[in-house]
Amino acid sequence: MPDPQLILQISNLSKTYSNGVQALKNLSLTIGTNMFGLLGPNGAGKSTLMRTVATLQDADSGEVSFDGLNVLREKDSVRRILGYLPQEFGIYPKMSALDMLDHLAVMKGILNRGERKEMVEGLLQQTNLWDVRKKKLGTFSGGMKQRFGIAQALLGNPKLIIVDEPTAGLDPTERNRFLNLLSSIGRNVIVILSTHIVDDVRELCPQMAIISQGEVLLEGSPAQSIDALGGKIWRKMMDDAGELADVEETHRVISTHLVAGLTEVRVYADTHPGAGFSPVDPDIEDVYFLNLSRATRN
């Protein structure tokens, strides 16, 4: 259950772009404190949703409220308590991390010099950028830039933190470090992690939602969603493309993986689907792919 302290309520949000793409279709979500995973394929409407909540763009209809604020109208008040890490962002390449973070802190409204210095230095240490604080941002690696991004998102102790696809393009070490950093942010604020990488959600988020084509497919805790599939996921190893095509005809295939040259097929079935299949413990990826395949069927 969402923590009652802070609630982000998204109600009936719709957005159609001028090119006719309907990015959000009457979407509603309730998000409480702690980490919330927003999972969906590329183009599902995640970024549109994140940008709308982050006051960067307007919706056609619908409401968003947070902590008594009307997010779509009271943008300035929201921006005071918002931390946003965009999916892609630029930096001033000739400026040092320290200088740019300080500049952004002023924009955040931290005008007291001593307070600002303390906060900027604290964040640079927390994000492990202290040793490179005087280096030009243009020389930063992808992971360092992403950590700088989270540092600027944490300016001013935000209560609502939105990180949009933060781990895309990071190597495994950088990704781990980044996820550890995210999980250390604290349990008393809302952190929305939007991603298409299922593992991000599994590792970090007690609550999640899966969205696709502008609609919520599933809302709940990863653990419960996995439990609901108990005994219904089966796998079979095969090396023959013809056999795979047959299985796809007759079963509800939710995913196929290559494992050491063989194809592992996972199917969804209430009862044993036939010879060669063995039961497996479901994981979050099964939840994700099953929901996506349901959505495309309908």
Partner 1 sequence: MFLHFLWFEIKFRLRAISTYVYFAIWFLMTLFAVSATDFGPIGAGKVLLNGPFALAIFCVQLTSFGTVIISALFGTSILRDFQLDTYQLIFTKPLSKFAYLGGRWAGSMVVSLLIFSGLLFGTAAGTLMPWADKDRMGPFNVWFYLQPYLTITAVQIFFLGSLFFLVAALTRRIVIVYLQGVVIFAIYLIGAIFVLANRSLETFWPSLFDPLGIVLFNTTTRYWTVADKNTHLLVLSGVFLYNRLL
User: Footprint of partner 1 on this chain (CB under 8 A)?
Assistant: 51, 54-56, 76-77, 79-80, 82, 84, 86, 88-95, 103-104, 106-109, 111, 149, 152
**Measuring CA to CA, which residue among 80, 76, 121, 119 is closest to residue 98?**
121
- Length of the chain in terms of residues written: 298
* Whole-angstrom distance, CA of residue 273 vs CA of residue 289: 18
Nearer to partner 1, 153 or 208 (CB): 153
| 3-state helix vs strand vs coil in the chain, percent to 5 | 35, 30, 35
Task: Using the Cα atoms of residue 134, residue 136, residue 137 and residue 141 in order, give the sign of their dihedral.
Answer: negative
114-145 as b/e, with b when 16 or more CB fall inside 10 Å? Answer: eebeebbeebbebbebeebbeebbeebeebbb
- Helix H or strand E encompassing 69: strand 69-70
**Measuring CA to CA, which residue among 14, 12, 40 is closest to residue 209?**
40
120 near 106, Cβ under 8 Å?
no
